[in-house]
Each structure stands twice: as structure tokens, then as C-alpha cells.
Amino acid sequence: MKITCPHCGEKSSISSSKKITQSLRELYCHCDNPLCDARFVMSLAHKHDTTPPRPVMEQAIIELVRRLSPREKRQLMDIIKQP
Ligand SMILES: [Zn+2]
């Protein structure tokens, strides 16, 4: 992964990183532009999921099915049985 230098806009390399929390890291960067040569720290954070983890999705489906009425469960089974 390349990071854009916030000073000159050229590409920078990540020389090391430090875990702050499970979803946040600090990236220690060095600008590849010899005329800039800046060293800086950027943050890399998990913002949100575009697809939740499979176990979370499976549990959500199980909970949804449990809340269905018997009639809705029969309708679901009919849909599943269709080729
Ligand atoms: Zn730079």
C-alpha cells in the first residue's frame, strides 16, 4: 500500500506501523520524493463494513427465521424448494 505525502503529494512508503486498537493503526511513513524526504504518521482505521462477517450474517438470518410466523416459514420453505 502506498501513501500520498501530505506535504508534496508524491508517493510515500510505510516503514513501520503500530497497533493502537483492534481497528486503528498508526503508519510511520517516509516520503519517496528525495526533494521532500518528509517523515510522518498517518492513521489507518476501520470505518464500517460493506459486508458484515459471515458469522454475523448467519446469526442475523437465524434470528429473522425464528421470528417468522408458521405461515411465513411455510412460504419461505416453498421459496427454498423452488428450482
Ligand atoms: Zn513529500
d(CA 19, CA 22): 7
Supply the pLDDT for residue 1. 81
Q: Per-10-residue mean pLDDT for the chain, 83 residues long?
A: 94 97 97 98 96 95 94 92 83
Collapse the DSSP code of 40 into the 3-class scheme (helix H, G, I; strand E, B; otherwise coil) and give the result.
strand
CB atoms within 10 A of CB 31: 22
pTM listed for this prediction: 0.68
Find the 18 Cα to ligand 1 centroid distance in Å.
Answer: 21
Closest to 12 measured CA to CA, from 45, 44, 28:
28
Q: What secondary structure letter does DSSP report for 51?
A: S
User: What SS3 state is found at 14?
Assistant: strand
Tell me what pLDDT residue 2 has: 83
Q: How far is the CA of 40 from the centre of ligand 1 (A)?
A: 9
Grid coordinates given for 15: 516503514
Ligand 1 centroid from CA 78, angstroms: 61
How far is ligand 1, taken at its centre, from the CA of residue 27, in Å? 15
Which pLDDT value is given to residue 50?
95
